[in-house]
């Protein structure tokens, strides 16, 4: 049997479409519609068209504080995951001569992922707590007399947990673009008299740009879309954008939560678009 | 006389990656300043390793490398005054032609204006002016090769090292770039060391051809000496253009010996000072273009060796005709007949011929 060309093309994309429509397009549309509805205050939606939910989001100083807080965590997490991810990938690609060892070490980086997110986060508590490992050790060796309070239930703890969770998302794409750098290109740079730092600055970083961009998208999207880590690790001391509309939902304020969600989605999509403008991501995925 | 800056001397150069099997073993060689030297050999013979050791990308296990009379082992490439042109070029894919060529000057901290002035002059020299803002991926193979050459030459090295520079190009371009390499070498007046597995490339370009096998130099010398007077069977077969016969010494009389082989009548070979005695196994080379093919019964000129044979195959090559004859033992037997001579009285497959050559032109191999 011969099928015409467009039919064949549609058949190829059909599985993806069948997944995307019910699990992505429909929920987004539902949220979009809910964001312009009114609420009766008891969880019911009144079908109208109103922009008051958006008005509330944009006029509330709370929104700006929430974004400030979330963006602060995003930027800090991004900086630390980027530094760690870049240099771990750099070490694996350029300094581990034995390829088998490099792959082994690479797999080692994924070990934290063998347990659940929540367990990984909670396992920081015995380490960072007031009577945790670090405080006890520091007191025992006499460096401090009182336990350090900022270690747990603080912004510090939030960033630590995020970095722990998300560094792998930097390592993988950066590793991926670094292994594709021709070793002879590095050698040619050495031949031209480039120092190790010159090679890093002029060759490795520019050629890992797409990996850095991909990793950045993962980290930024995950941190901005998360509230759980912030909530648990800050001990409730820090709020986040998603945390706020999670609470809206808790008090049945669906339209307000929907409007916040739409705003966040737009902001995230804009950031991703801006990141993608700096690199040719297609090259990274296809070649 | 002072040792010139681009003169190279390799002394007992040895390299082994695992400490057991040497890739390069005890290579000794002198290359004068400003020479075009070709390392020729099959892949895995150690020629690229030697090049990389001269360049400073590989450390020798043993031995010395002298450039301009100074031992450079352990020095980084920049301090050696060498520059390397890599196989398949290894251009920086994210930099324009201009920035690729300017790279070495940039990392030397030269300011932008001066850097680009020198670079543009070099771009002019390799005729890439219109393409200087392109990325390497947008260039053809020949253009990439010129960028690689310019990038290596920009620092005015005393030695330029080329690792199979022409292997990525197609046949026609290869011949064209070959003469361009030679032209650049004359213009720059520096030592070129060129690694190749193509004997055509080597003899066309080089002042000195170095034939290698299994990490050792088999023969080195002027292109014509190596081609016309190969030392042994390996060199003769690798450079081509020779028929190599093996056999035993029949009799020795004066400055001639007689070669005895099962399928051959006795053939006289000039001795040229070599010392052999009756019964020794020997190899003899006869140039393919020295062989005259005559119809049976034709009279031979004086002092000619000859062999009765049969035509097995004919290949037209344009300026000559390659005639494959009945193999002598396991050795290929081929005659290159000038085109006009051949078509004056064309032979056919299966024809019986007398293959004759001036007795003096046969050479005893080591």
- Token duo for residue A95: 């300094």
Q: Do A198 and B107 touch (CB under 8 A)?
A: yes
Q: Which residues of B touch A198 (CB under 8 A)?
A: 107
- The pLDDT tens digits for A48-62 are 888 998 999 899 999
CA triplet B25, B229, B334: central angle to 5 degrees?
110
Q: Token pair of A129, please?
A: 């707590």
State CA B343 to chain mean position distance.
Answer: 32
CA dihedral B221, B227, B358, B337 (to 10 degrees): -160
Q: Residue B277: its pLDDT value, please?
A: 76
CA neighbor of B323 nearest in space, from B298, B302, B354, B300 = B354
What does pLDDT average to over chain B? 88
3-state secondary structure of A28: helix
Residues 6+ apart with CB under 8 A from A152: A124, A125, A128, A129, A130, A132, A233, A235
- Other Cβ atoms less than 10 A from the Cβ of B252: the count is 15
CA dihedral B79, B84, B90, B92 (to 10 degrees): 40
pLDDT digits (tens, 9 = 90+) for B36-48: 999 999 988 889 9
Which pLDDT score is estimated for B266? Answer: 67
Of B90, B94, B151, the CB nearest to A187: B90
pLDDT for residue B108 is more than 70: yes
Residues 6+ apart with CB under 8 A from A230: A69, A70, A73, A158, A238, A239, A240, A243
pLDDT class of A67 with cuts at 50, 70, 90:
very high
Extended beta strands in chain B, E state: 8-16, 22-31, 36-40, 62-67, 70-71, 82-85, 159-163, 191-196, 208-213, 216-221, 242-253, 256-261, 264-270, 281-287, 292-294, 304-316, 320-328, 331-338, 352-358, 363-365
CA nearest to A87, candidates A184, A244, A205: A205
Q: Tell me if chain A has a CB within 8 Å of the CB of B77.
A: yes
Neighbours of B30 (CB within 10 A): 14
> Among A208-217, A271-280, B265-274, which is the least confidently predicted range?
B265-274
How many residue pairs bridge chain A and chain B with CB atoms within 8 Å of each other? 58
Pairing assessment for the beta strands A38-39 and B22-31 based on DSSP bridges = unpaired
For residue B84, which residues of chain A lie inside 8 Å, CB to CB? 187-188, 191
What single-letter DSSP state applies at residue B187? H
What is d(CA A159, CA A223) in angstroms, rounded to the nearest whole number?
10
Copy the structure tokens of residue A147: 């336990």
Q: What pLDDT does residue B193 have?
A: 94
Distance from A208 to chain B by nearest Cα, in Å? 11
In the structure, what pLDDT confidence band is assigned to residue B21 with cuts at 50, 70 and 90?
A: confident
Q: Name, in order, each residue with C-beta under 8 angstroms of B257's C-beta and a sequence gap of 6 or more.
A: B249, B250, B251, B268, B269, B271, B276, B282, B364
CA distance A154 to B39: 67
Asked whether the beta carbons of A172 and A215 are under 8 A apart, the reply is: yes
- pLDDT for A286: 60
Are A192 and B91 in contact (CB < 8 Å)? no
- Which of the two residues, A286 and B180, has the higher pLDDT score? B180
* All domains of chain B in start order, with CATH: 8-233 (3.40.50.300), 245-365 (2.40.50.100)
As a whole number, mean pLDDT of residues A73-85 equals: 96
A178-to-A186, A205, B32, B351 alpha-carbon distances in Å: 11, 9, 41, 64
Which residue is associated with the tokens 């909530």?
A231
Asked if B246 and B234 count as a contact pair (C-beta separation under 8 A), the reply is no
Mean pLDDT is highest, among A26-30, A121-125, A130-134, B258-262, for: A26-30
Mean pLDDT of A189-213: 93
Residue-level pLDDT at B336: 93
Distances (CA, A) of B139 to A74, A202, A234, B84, B169: 41, 21, 55, 20, 13
What does the block give as tokens for B319?
């300026």
What b-and-e string marks burial along B299-321, b requiring 16 or more CB atoms within 10 Å of the CB?
eeeeebbbbebebeebeeeeebb
Q: How confident is the model at residue A66 (pLDDT cuts 50, 70, 90)?
A: very high
Report d(CA B131, CA B122) in Å as an integer.
13
State the Cα–Cα distance between residues A232 and A122, nearest whole angstrom. 8
State residue B355's pLDDT score.
87
Does the pLDDT value for residue B134 go beyond 60?
yes
**pLDDT-derived band of residue B3, with 50, 70 and 90 as boundaries?**
low
Let me know if B154 is exposed, middle or buried by CB neighbors in 10 A (0-12, 13-18, 19+): buried
Taking CB atoms and an 8 Å cutoff, what residues of chain B touch A190?
Answer: 57, 76-77
Which range is least confidently modeled, A44-58, A271-285, B100-114?
Answer: A271-285
Q: pLDDT at position A1, please? A: 64
* Number of C-beta neighbours around residue A234 at 10 A: 22
Confidence of residue B31 (pLDDT cuts 50, 70, 90): very high
How far is the CA of B129 from the CAs of B88, B123, B134, in angstroms?
Answer: 22, 6, 10
| Of the partner residues B77, B90, B108, the one whose CB lies closest to the CB of residue A185 | B90
Q: Provide the sign of the torsion angle of the four alpha carbons B359, B361, B362, B363, taken in this order.
A: positive
Residues in B closer than 8 angstroms to A180, CB to CB, are none
Q: Which residues contact B252 (CB under 8 A, 6 or more apart)?
A: B258, B271, B276, B277, B278
Q: Which residues contact A35 (CB under 8 A, 6 or more apart)?
A: A53, A54, A255, A258, A259, A261, A262
Average pLDDT over residues B117-121: 92
Tell me whether B91 touches chain A (CB under 8 Å): yes
Is B92 within 8 Å of A182 when comparing Cβ atoms? no
Range with lowest mean pLDDT among A111-115, A171-175, B49-53, B331-335: A111-115
Among B118, B124, B56, smallest CA distance to B84 is for B56
Arithmetic mean of pLDDT, B199-226: 92
pLDDT of residue B79 exceeding 80? yes
Average pLDDT over residues B143-166: 91
Tell me the average pLDDT across B134-145.
90
Q: Which residue in chain B is spatially nearest to A199 when comparing CA positions?
A: B107
Tokens 């801006």, residue located: A274
Kindly determine whether residue B76 and residue A187, on different chains, have CB atoms separated by under 8 Å: no
* CB neighbour list of residue B170: distance below 8 Å, 6 or more residues apart: B141
Instruction: Phi first, then psi: give them for residue B239, nearest 5 degrees.
Output: -80, -20
The per-residue pLDDT for A281 is 67
pLDDT > 50? residue B1: no
Of A182, A193, A206, the CB nearest to B90: A182
CATH of domain A61-286: 1.10.3720.10
pLDDT at B2 over 60: no
Give the contacts of A45 (CB within 8 A, at least 6 positions apart): A34, A37, A38, A39, A254, A255
Determine the pLDDT at residue B292.
87
As a whole number of angstroms, the distance between CA B91 and CA B97 comes to: 9
Give the integer Cα–Cα distance in Å for A256 and A36.
9
């Amino acid at each position: 049997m011969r099928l015409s060309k467009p039919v064949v093309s549609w058949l190829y994309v059909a599985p993806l479409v069948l997944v995307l429509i019910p699990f992505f397009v429909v929920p987004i549309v539902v949220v979009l519609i809910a964001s312009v509805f009114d609420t009766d205050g008891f969880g019911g939606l009144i079908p109208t068209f109103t922009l008051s939910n958006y008005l509330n989001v944009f006029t509330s100083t709370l929104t700006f504080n929430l974004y400030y807080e979330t963006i602060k965590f995003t930027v800090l997490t991004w900086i630390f995951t980027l530094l760690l991810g870049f240099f771990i990938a750099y070490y694996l690609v350029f300094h581990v001569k034995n390829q088998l060892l490099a792959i082994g070490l690479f797999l080692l980086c994924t070990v934290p992922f063998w347990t659940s997110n929540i367990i990984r986060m909670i396992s920081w508590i015995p380490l960072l707590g007031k009577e945790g490992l670090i405080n006890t050790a520091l007191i025992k060796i006499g460096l401090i007399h009182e336990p350090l309070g900022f270690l747990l239930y603080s912004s510090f703890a939030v960033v630590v947990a995020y970095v722990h969770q998300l560094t792998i998302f930097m390592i993988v794409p950066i590793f991926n673009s670094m292994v594709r750098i021709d070793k002879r290109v590095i050698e040619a740079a050495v031949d031209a008299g480039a120092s190790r730092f010159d090679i890093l600055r002029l060759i490795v970083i520019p050629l890992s740009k797409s990996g850095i961009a991909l990793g950045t998208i993962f980290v930024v999207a995950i941190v901005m879309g998360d509230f759980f880590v912030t909530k648990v690790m800050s001990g409730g001391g820090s709020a986040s954008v998603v945390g706020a509309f999670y609470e809206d939902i808790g008090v049945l304020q669906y339209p307000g939560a929907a409007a916040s969600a739409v705003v966040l989605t737009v902001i995230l999509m804009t950031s991703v678009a801006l990141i993608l403008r700096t690199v040719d991501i297609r090259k990274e995925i296809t070649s | 006389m002072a040792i010139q800056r681009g003169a190279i001397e390799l002394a007992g150069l040895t390299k082994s990656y695992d400490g057991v099997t040497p890739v390069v073993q005890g290579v000794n060689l002198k290359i004068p300043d400003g020479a075009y030297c070709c390392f020729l050999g099959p892949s895995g013979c150690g020629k690229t390793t030697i090049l990389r050791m001269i360049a400073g990308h590989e450390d020798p296990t043993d031995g010395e490398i002298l450039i301009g009379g100074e031992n450079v082992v352990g020095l980084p490439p920049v301090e050696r005054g060498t520059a390397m042109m890599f196989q398949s070029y290894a251009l920086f894919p994210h930099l324009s032609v201009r920035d690729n060529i300017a790279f070495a000057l940039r990392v030397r901290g030269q300011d932008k204006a001066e850097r680009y002035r020198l670079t543009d002059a070099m771009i002019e020299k390799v005729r890439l002016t219109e393409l200087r803002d392109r990325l390497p991926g947008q260039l053809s193979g020949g253009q990439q090769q010129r960028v690689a050459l310019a990038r290596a030459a920009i620092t005015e090295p005393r030695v330029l090292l080329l690792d199979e520079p022409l292997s990525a190009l197609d046949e026609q371009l290869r011949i064209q770039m070959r003469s361009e390499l030679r032209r650049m070498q004359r213009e720059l007046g520096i030592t070129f060391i060129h690694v190749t597995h193509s004997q055509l490339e080597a003899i066309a370009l080089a002042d000195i051809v170095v034939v290698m096998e299994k990490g050792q130099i088999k023969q080195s010398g002027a292109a014509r000496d190596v081609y016309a007077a190969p030392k042994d069977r390996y060199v003769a077969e690798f450079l081509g253009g020779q028929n190599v016969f093996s056999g035993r010494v029949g009799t020795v009389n004066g400055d001639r010996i007689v070669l005895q082989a099962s399928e051959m009548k006795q053939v006289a070979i000039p001795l040229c000072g070599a010392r052999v005695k009756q019964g020794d196994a020997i190899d003899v080379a006869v140039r393919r273009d020295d062989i005259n093919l005559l119809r049976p019964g034709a009279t031979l000129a004086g002092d000619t060796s000859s062999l009765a044979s049969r035509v097995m195959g004919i290949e037209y090559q344009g300026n000559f005709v390659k005639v494959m004859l009945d193999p002598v033992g396991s050795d290929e037997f081929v005659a290159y007949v000038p085109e006009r001579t051949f078509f004056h009285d064309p032979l056919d497959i299966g024809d019986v011929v007398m293959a004759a050559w001036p007795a003096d032109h046969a050479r005893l191999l080591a």
